[in-house]
Structure 1
Amino acid sequence: MSVNTSPVIDQFGVTSSSCHEKLLRFNFQSIKKRKNNSLMPSFSITKEFILRFNQTKNPKEEEKLLDLARKNILRCKRKLGLKTLGSGKHVHLPTAWTEVVYLAQCKGEIQDEALNMLYASLDHASFDYDHLPALFFVAESVLYRLYCDAFLKTYLYSVEIKLAKIGYLVFLRLFIYFLHGHLENFKQHLLRLQSYVYALSVSEELYYKYPNIFSNVQFILKTMEIMCKRELLSGSTFGSVENTKRYENIDSDMEHLQLNQAGYEVNHLLWHCVAAWSCVQKNSSQLNKVLKHLLFHKAQLQKKCWLDSTLALLVLGEAAKLNMACLKALMELMKHFLLSILSVQNQEETCKVNDFSWAWNVVYLYTTNLAEICLYAATSNLRKTAFVGFCDCRSLQKDILHMDKSEETPELRETSISGLLEYFSSKMSDNCDPVIWTGYYGLVYNLVKMLWELRGDEEQDGFRNIIWQTLQKTKNHEKDGRILNAVNIAQAELNDPTDPFANYSTEVSSNVGDEIFSKYIGWRIANTLSKLFFPSTDACVLPLKKPLIKRDQMKYLSKKDSMKKRVLHFTVREHPSMSELPMFPYPDFFTRADEELARIIDHHWQKELKTRQEEDAICEAKERKNKELEEENCFREIMKRREEKLHKHTKPYELPARTEVISLEKKMTPKIEVHGPEIQYMKETRIDTC
């Protein structure tokens, strides 16, 4: 079915009333079929309420219904735990997700806020087996809405962008559960999704001009293709081979993981990216050796099964937010990938054998990961490197503003944002490769969102100014409508009709649910995959099988036991501004417990060290005093023996007093007697010569 889509978003709105009625009928029929399911509790939001909200024309009734919807929004925010990363006694995610899906059918601001809340919750929520029924319900609702909006509307609506982003997070989570083998009991749910996936698969001509939506749609289709093929056809999922290998230069707990031929095979690249992330978390000295092995398998990034490639880049991107070596490895991977793909596609004979029509998905998702590193990396040096690169041969200003296509075509020096902008802009043409223009589109699209994310942050004024200059230069020199369209679509997604280039005075929004980028899903996935690939005794790994608990049985479970089944718990203090939020994901319970234990041990060690130093000082003083006393006694003994032998009271090196010397000389000098006759004789014998 051909639809005349406009390359620019001309209006914003929601689905028609007839489409709403179909969606309501579909959702409530699905709930009715699951009435016996204990995990789907009753809801306060009814079909009649949604229809009255959307169809009423009475101002008083409209105001009353709007006030009631806002109260439901506040209640859902508390159930979602938006300020505590989905943890707490008041949080129940399956119930909250279902209620938010119903609230998203109320047109206007309620719909926008409900979709923003759902996106934020799916981003930071932990992985729990009890979430699966609600996740499938959200997946059905999102696919149904995309199906209606894609085939019944002649324009692109902003709600489609949000639904595509939500669908990406939902199916990303379902794929992680698939790797754990949790979808064996949900084959009927997968069958229900297949009809919507088939309808969505013909949407290439509708979303081809919008890679931000089309990449999410392609991810949903690829995920469903893998899950349905393994679950519905072979009936088996995740299994490890007996002949697991160990790499010589990697820690002993990092065993190579393969899957059997009947299940899904995880490639070496994804495994090594998870290993690198684990080394960063553990501060392991083996990180460089793991990265060396990782780059050895960089050719696997060119395999047609690109789902593993995107997961590998996502996990390595999380490690790059904390470690410079991982960021360098990530950029080297993409540089090798781009040069290999573009060089192969330039050769006509090789291009017939190798089909790289999927490569743009990897490049586009890489640009998104790079933008997230620029915003949320742990240090300013990491953020600067992701934007500028490692090369300092030219100034940053010249790098960013170097977009004159009349000059010699530059080589791909680095895969940082500025390096890719320079490279892609120089190769843009009407018949350029999809990798070129989709990568360029992704950079511009994410730069607009980065500019919006940094608004009101005085500490990031310099970084925001560089982004502003880059986008302004793009608007002035780029004539391709596909690239200019990225600015308009990003602006529409942000629900901001003003010009982002002049919007300096806007303060940071205090709405926690209004998220632009995915801040936590990458860390959640990396943490879950590390526990799956490298299980340990102290790690809380998701169980391979977990039977459904009936509602009657849940009544007898204590609150303490039910809270223990939660995977992760977090506590986040409220901050006065978004700029004070941490730039990297929060650690899990065990990491924080280890850090606290290390802090306590270090505190007691410092106290013990101080006590030992004081005791050592006392012992040294005592030994020094004993030595002096011993020397004094020894000297006295020597003097006593000398006095007995020489009858002298002076010390060996001491001169006697002057009076004593004179008296001693008198005693020692002999007396000379002079006799008179002898003198007379001497006088007489004197000879006189004169």
Structure 2
Amino acid sequence: MNMPVKKSPVINPLGVIAPSYYEKLLRLNLQNLRKKRSAKSKPPFSITEEFILRFNKTKNIEEKKVLLDLARKTILKCKRKLGLRTLGTGSHVHLPAAWAEITYLAQCEGEIQDECLNMLFASMDHAYFDYDHLPALFFLAESLLYRLCCDAFLKTYLYSVEIKLAKISYLVFLRIFIYFLHDHLQNFEQHLHRLQPYLYALSLCDESYYKYPNIFSNVQFILKMMEIICERELLSGSIFSPVESKKQYKDVDSDTKCLQFNQERYEVNHLLWHCVAAWTCVQKKSPQLNKVLEHVVFHKTQLRQKCWMNSALALLVLGETAKLNVACLKTLMDLMRDFLLSIMSVQNQKENCMVDDFSWAWNVVYMYITILAEICLYAVTSNLRKTAFVGFCDCKSSQKDILLMDKSEQPELKETSILGLLNYFSSKMSANCDDIIWIGYYGLVYNLVKMSWELRGDEEQDGLRNLIWQTLQTTKDHEKDQRIHNAINIAQAELNDPMDPYTGYNTKVFSKTRDEVFSKYIGWRIAKALSKLFFPLTDVSNILLKEPLIKRDQRKHLYKKQDCIKKRVLHFTVREHSSMSEVPMFPYPDYFTKRDEELARIIDHHWQHELKIRQKEDAICEAKEREDEEVKEKNHFREIMKRREKELHKLTKPYELPPGTSNFIRKEHDLPKLRSSCQKHSA
């Protein structure tokens, strides 16, 4: 049997390699050259599926350190692209690319995952609105829903990453809903179709998330927003919320009338419109604010409509206004008081068969509690923060009622502050209470734990933190309902803090990067976007510009121009402290305010210039007046001397002695000395 023999290259007599072998060698060289060029063109490190699998499954300590170092370097690059320090603005910021990279990197388990989700939550909170962000937002929406439905939902227990995924998903879909209101989703039907299977799976998780209202509220908001979007954009029935039908959006109170931008757009009621108008009046410092607030109170019944997305957006916008104005805070609390009293009265009328279904009302109440907690932390003045927590009534009596926690009494709902709602809900708490009561109570305790963690280390807010500590400690000691204790445990798990936030400090918390607990900016961004939609002529620059796609080279140049035009976000915060980052306390001026300030500076500059000219003229006039006075004095003296010479026939000046009197005075002055010398000589 002939064995295969390795053939040697055919060499010609001249010692040159044969053409067939030369062609093979040339191909190999070209392939190697292409590999080198492709390797040079690729970035030094990119997030791939292989890297994620190696990071999660490797057990080698050295390899784990190398992979962890690469992941941390990528996180630093993503932080710069996200613009976390500049609120998402700058020439170095590229939000869609950074969102995609951080989403891929978030699949790495452990600390990298937590840090990536925290960065994504912060970026979704403070990023500006841009039409070019929509493809990346839909990518984020699909990725987050996949993680919730195919990963988190299959586990039998709740974990902290699941809470972060729900919070980020809520912000992503809230941004998509704002684009929907601006009629920017016309070319994204395919993306909406791809989301529907995940939304249907998410609608089946009621039993899993019902015990955790902090997640269940986010899920309900996502489903409601996407139901509205799909019914308008896809013109098909909702597949993930079979209980509610399309008729509910046409069911409007008889005394109100919905506003429509066109026949296919979403219906916006008067309450939301006037809340946005109130926010605009506060930003512009308009004197019509009181009239607008009167209209808000007049349309308070629209807060009870079945299309509760209008109510949620209205509270969100009015809550942002309440961080700046006391009258707006009073209006916000009055709206919720009327809403709760009307809902609770309807819930008590069980004998009446015509009672409306308010099973959705707890979503509005829970959102109001979250907004109230944000006002307590980020309002511009201490009076607003204290009022949101204690109320407008006597502070001592309110605190005393809260700390007693006596459920035998049935207190009235006087105010819808934090302490007022806590007293009201705790007195009505029972095993078979309505969802509004126990979910509202749950939301208060849950947000109080987060508020206490947010105020840690702030010496200027020790009074508020001590009051929160007393309230939480009393709740923990007297409340026996396990649902309320779960709120405390879940809040601690979300904060990654194993210690009680009101019994001691955890030293690890101060060494870590400060995580975002509340949404500080999204309300302001949404209020500004809705103001541009409802009142497009109030400002020259438009925050949502639907433009054609721009080339990458042109986009860099465009970002440099827009950096001077874009306005920084309003950051509501406590008073400045050395341990905190420096953040503005007041809203940044709008276009007309900037023009007024610039005009005032020009006028002041010209006034200062004119003032200097006037000062020089006054100095010249004063010098001339002094010269005139001196001339007058000299002339007057000359006249006096002429009269003296005529009358006395003397040329000396008045009170001037003759020339010889000076020597005589000198001699008279020397007589005592001569006498003393003579006496000495005689002795």
Q: TM-score range by the shorter chain?
A: 0.7 to 0.9
1:554 lines up with 2:552 in the alignment? yes
1:539 Cα offset (Å): 2.6
* Residues 490-547 of structure 1: CA deviation (Å, up to 9, x unaligned): 0000001112122247587476662000011111111111111101274322456433
* Residues 244-270 of structure 1: CA deviation (Å, up to 9, x unaligned): xxxxxxxxxxxx953344321111111
Tell me the residue number matched to 2:399.
397
Query: 1:224/1:521 Cα in 2 relative to 1: closer, same or farther (>3 Å)?
Result: same
Tell me the residue number matched to 1:452.
453
**Paired residues, number:** 566
Q: Which moved more, 1:559-568 or 1:418-427?
A: 559-568
1:572 Cα offset (Å): 11
Conserved 8 A contact 2:182-2:533:
yes
Alignment of 1:206-225 (within 5 A): 206-225=208-227
Which AA in structure 1 matches 2:478?
Answer: H
* Residues 468-505 of structure 1: CA deviation (Å, up to 9, x unaligned): 00000000111111111100000000001112122247
1:601 Cα offset (Å): 4.1
Conserved 8 A contact 2:209-2:215:
yes
* Residues 252-304 of structure 1: CA deviation (Å, up to 9, x unaligned): xxxx9533443211111111110000000011111011000110000000001
Tell me the residue number matched to 1:233.
235
1:598 Cα offset (Å): 5.6
* Residues 599-631 of structure 1: CA deviation (Å, up to 9, x unaligned): 624643762685598599789989999xx9xxx
Query: 1:350/1:576 Cα in 2 relative to 1: closer, same or farther (>3 Å)?
Result: same
Alignment of 1:53-64 (within 5 A): 53-64=55-66
SS in 1 for 2:324: coil
Tell me the residue number matched to 1:48.
50
1:478 lines up with 2:479 in the alignment? yes
Query: 1:454/1:523 Cα in 2 relative to 1: closer, same or farther (>3 Å)?
Result: same
SS in 2 for 1:354: coil
1:234 Cα offset (Å): 8.0
Which AA in structure 2 matches 1:141?
Answer: S
SS in 1 for 2:153: helix
Tell me the residue number matched to 1:643.
none
Tell me the residue number matched to 1:533.
534
Which AA in structure 2 matches 1:72?
Answer: T
Alignment of 1:349-388 (within 5 A): 349-350=351-352, 352-388=354-390
For residues 374 and 171 of structure 2, the distance between their equivalents in structure 1, rounded to whole angstroms, comes to 16
For residues 281 and 347 of structure 2, the distance between their equivalents in structure 1, rounded to whole angstroms, comes to 36
SS in 1 for 2:234: helix
* Bigger RCO (CA 8 Å, 6+ sep): 1
Query: 1:324/1:510 Cα in 2 relative to 1: closer, same or farther (>3 Å)?
Result: farther
Match of 2:166 among 144, 164, 167: 164
Structure 2 unpaired stretches of 5+: 1-42, 238-257, 630-683
For residues 612 and 389 of structure 1, the distance between their equivalents in structure 2, rounded to whole angstroms, comes to 56
Tell me the residue number matched to 2:188.
186
1:586 Cα offset (Å): 5.3
Tell me the residue number matched to 1:418.
419
Conserved 8 A contact 1:274-1:315:
yes
Alignment of 1:257-268 (within 5 A): 258-268=260-270
Query: 1:558/1:413 Cα in 2 relative to 1: closer, same or farther (>3 Å)?
Result: closer
Q: Percent identity?
A: 69
For residues 371 and 212 of structure 1, the distance between their equivalents in structure 2, rounded to whole angstroms, comes to 14
Conserved 8 A contact 2:521-2:570:
no
Query: 1:285/1:70 Cα in 2 relative to 1: closer, same or farther (>3 Å)?
Result: same
For residues 137 and 577 of structure 1, the distance between their equivalents in structure 2, rounded to whole angstroms, comes to 40
* Residues 531-586 of structure 1: CA deviation (Å, up to 9, x unaligned): 1110127432245643334xxx433x26332444577354999x985635437575
For residues 585 and 103 of structure 1, the distance between their equivalents in structure 2, rounded to whole angstroms, comes to 36
Taking structure 1 as the reference length, what is the TM-score of the superposition? Answer: 0.76
Conserved 8 A contact 1:570-1:589:
no
Tell me the residue number matched to 1:679.
none
Alignment of 1:307-326 (within 5 A): 307-326=309-328
Taking only aligned residues, the RMSD between alpha carbons, in angstroms, comes to 3.3
For residues 409 and 352 of structure 1, the distance between their equivalents in structure 2, rounded to whole angstroms, comes to 27
Tell me the residue number matched to 1:433.
434
1:399 Cα offset (Å): 3.7
1:79 lines up with 2:81 in the alignment? yes
For residues 585 and 510 of structure 1, the distance between their equivalents in structure 2, rounded to whole angstroms, comes to 29
Query: 1:443/1:615 Cα in 2 relative to 1: closer, same or farther (>3 Å)?
Result: farther
* Residues 195-246 of structure 1: CA deviation (Å, up to 9, x unaligned): 10000001110000100000000000001000111111189xxxxxxxxxxx
Query: 1:576/1:405 Cα in 2 relative to 1: closer, same or farther (>3 Å)?
Result: closer
Match of 1:342 among 334, 341, 344: 344
Conserved 8 A contact 1:164-1:216:
yes
Conserved 8 A contact 1:455-1:507:
no
Tell me the residue number matched to 2:146.
144
For residues 269 and 85 of structure 2, the distance between their equivalents in structure 1, rounded to whole angstroms, comes to 37
1:499 lines up with 2:471 in the alignment? no
Conserved 8 A contact 2:126-2:569:
no
Tell me the residue number matched to 1:465.
466
Conserved 8 A contact 2:181-2:265:
no
Q: Which moved more, 1:145-154 or 1:503-512?
A: 503-512
Match of 1:104 among 106, 122, 125: 106
For residues 456 and 369 of structure 1, the distance between their equivalents in structure 2, rounded to whole angstroms, comes to 23
1:363 Cα offset (Å): 0.3
Query: 1:537/1:273 Cα in 2 relative to 1: closer, same or farther (>3 Å)?
Result: closer
For residues 333 and 540 of structure 2, the distance between their equivalents in structure 1, rounded to whole angstroms, comes to 31
For residues 135 and 420 of structure 2, the distance between their equivalents in structure 1, rounded to whole angstroms, comes to 44
SS in 2 for 1:375: helix
For residues 88 and 571 of structure 1, the distance between their equivalents in structure 2, rounded to whole angstroms, comes to 13
Query: 1:622/1:337 Cα in 2 relative to 1: closer, same or farther (>3 Å)?
Result: farther
Query: 1:599/1:492 Cα in 2 relative to 1: closer, same or farther (>3 Å)?
Result: farther
Tell me the residue number matched to 2:155.
153
Tell me the residue number matched to 1:329.
331
For residues 595 and 352 of structure 2, the distance between their equivalents in structure 1, rounded to whole angstroms, comes to 53
* Residues 157-204 of structure 1: CA deviation (Å, up to 9, x unaligned): 111100000001001100110111111111111110111000000111
SS in 2 for 1:84: coil
Conserved 8 A contact 1:570-1:588:
no
For residues 126 and 395 of structure 1, the distance between their equivalents in structure 2, rounded to whole angstroms, comes to 43
Taking structure 2 as the reference length, what is the TM-score of the superposition? Answer: 0.77
Tell me the residue number matched to 2:137.
135
1:150 Cα offset (Å): 4.2
1:77 Cα offset (Å): 0.8
For residues 220 and 281 of structure 1, the distance between their equivalents in structure 2, rounded to whole angstroms, comes to 30
For residues 56 and 66 of structure 1, the distance between their equivalents in structure 2, rounded to whole angstroms, comes to 11
* Residues 313-350 of structure 1: CA deviation (Å, up to 9, x unaligned): 11111111011000000000100000010001111245
Tell me the residue number matched to 2:517.
516
1:308 Cα offset (Å): 1.1
For residues 351 and 539 of structure 1, the distance between their equivalents in structure 2, rounded to whole angstroms, comes to 53
For residues 433 and 289 of structure 2, the distance between their equivalents in structure 1, rounded to whole angstroms, comes to 39
SS in 2 for 1:233: coil
* Residues 616-655 of structure 1: CA deviation (Å, up to 9, x unaligned): 9789989999xx9xxxxxxxxxxxxxxxxxxxxxxxxxxx
Conserved 8 A contact 2:499-2:505:
no
SS in 2 for 1:48: helix
1:490 lines up with 2:487 in the alignment? no
Which AA in structure 2 matches 1:273?
Answer: C
Which AA in structure 1 matches 2:558?
Answer: D
Conserved 8 A contact 1:568-1:589:
no
* Residues 92-151 of structure 1: CA deviation (Å, up to 9, x unaligned): 000100111111100000000000000000000000111111100110011011102343
For residues 508 and 618 of structure 1, the distance between their equivalents in structure 2, rounded to whole angstroms, comes to 66
Q: Which moved more, 1:591-600 or 1:69-78?
A: 591-600
SS in 1 for 2:132: helix
